Amino acid sequence: MSAGRFAGQAVVVTGAGQGIGRGVALALAREGAQLVLADRAAIVEEVAAEVAALGALVTVARGDLETWEGAEQLNAAALAAFGRVDVLINNVGGTIWVQPFQEYGPAQIEAEIRRSLFPTLWCCRAVLPDMLQRQQGVIVNVSSVATRGIYRIPYSAAKGGVNALTASLAMEHAQHGIRVNAVATGGTEAPPRKVPRNEQPLNAQEHQWYQGIVDQTKNSSLMQRYGTIDEQVAAILFLASKDASYITGSVLPVGGGDQG
């Protein structure tokens, strides 16, 4: 990474409280970005403090991005803080339950789609008017190679939706100077989540299903391993930067050879 790729740019990072989102926020701060960090959990304040310690301007927007109102409020906070959104990085998502599709109830399926599709859909819609007015902007959506995977079918469907959104939005708005791409993350080593997606501990059967996901993920990777947060962050920042100025409508798999 070269210092300064995002100097003076206003960048929104959703799901910034932990994991890949936190890694993206810290890397952007080191490269000169002005940051709006979004999360519904209070831990995002800790990340904001880390970012500020690196010398970056930062504001926090807490809210529920599964709703249009939450996305609107995030966009308003970014415009109030910096007057524009140069880059939007949509990182909210992640499977809540681990089980074969026939075990999912209707409410669980709807919750998975709300978690892993709607925050990206709403936030893209929220930032578009400003980007269109300025005839420039960059959106990077965090997808997953789990569009082809086991025991999390609703999540897979949601991330397939993210990929379709990415391609269609890029096609619609390339003429307006807006680039839209996605990084399809593979299995990624990360510290234990401070705020779990599912507060209920896994039972013995669910542990077995979860191990099935781990095994399938490694077996689908040509490198036969999980990636690191830094490896995912590097791809996200590349697509967000001017280094990728002639790339739009693409989904970049970062899964050790797993194409999703």
What is d(CA 232, CA 146) in angstroms, rounded to the nearest whole number? 15
What is d(CA 16, CA 26) in angstroms, rounded to the nearest whole number? 10
Using DSSP, state whether 189 is helix, strand or coil: strand
User: Nearest-5° angle of CA 5, CA 9, CA 15?
Assistant: 95
Q: Is 155 a catalytic residue?
A: yes
Using DSSP, state whether 46 is helix, strand or coil: helix
Lookup: tokens for 118: 């709607």
What is d(CA 206, CA 209) in angstroms, rounded to the nearest whole number? 5
Torsion of CA 66, 71, 77, 78, to 10 degrees: 110
Contacts (Cβ under 8 Å, ≥6 apart) of 78: 10, 12, 36, 59, 61, 84, 85, 127
Would you list the DSSP string of 81-147?
Answer: HHSS-SEEEE-----S--S-GGG--HHHHHHHHHHHTHHHHHHHHHHHHHHHHHT-EEEEEEEEGGG
What is d(CA 61, CA 249) in angstroms, rounded to the nearest whole number? 28
Residue of 151, 155, 210, 226 marked catalytic: 155
Positions annotated as catalytic residues are: 155
